[in-house]
Structure 1
């Protein structure tokens, strides 16, 4: 995963409403209309946030009739999880720095 895609993904997940969207989509897909009703937000506001999530590959959409249905992109979450696990392993392997109580002058 590139730094740019990580940046987009973490930026997309940094907004409280976008996190609510992700939480809502974790068990089922939603149409835009149903997701608006579920979250109590306007379609224009939801569409903006869905676009950010889609550009970061956090969600996927599929057309069905008049509506687009959104679901989580589980491959992206697996890649993010792997990246965080790699960072955790790296951090665990590093010695804990010991700082003197009085820094040198």
Structure 2
């Protein structure tokens, strides 16, 4: 992850990347450290890292490790993160207008 994601972001001129953790069942100390390293690397490349789907246990693991994610945007769900970035869910709008 740490080797490929930053390279792809630069290649594709990505300015913001949402890292959604909602489908990840367990985040141990190694994974939390990798996420932190990824976010720092992206920052140095000018890519804004946004995290979504962070559960309480993931937050606690990060805090116990002394990892500070406070400078990054975090959201409870992917939908919240995307909406904040100005991305609309057209499928939901279509269903509401039926």
TM over 0.5: no
Q: Could you state the TM-score of these two structures normalised by the residue count of structure 2?
A: 0.32
Higher helix share: 1
Bigger Cα Rg: 1
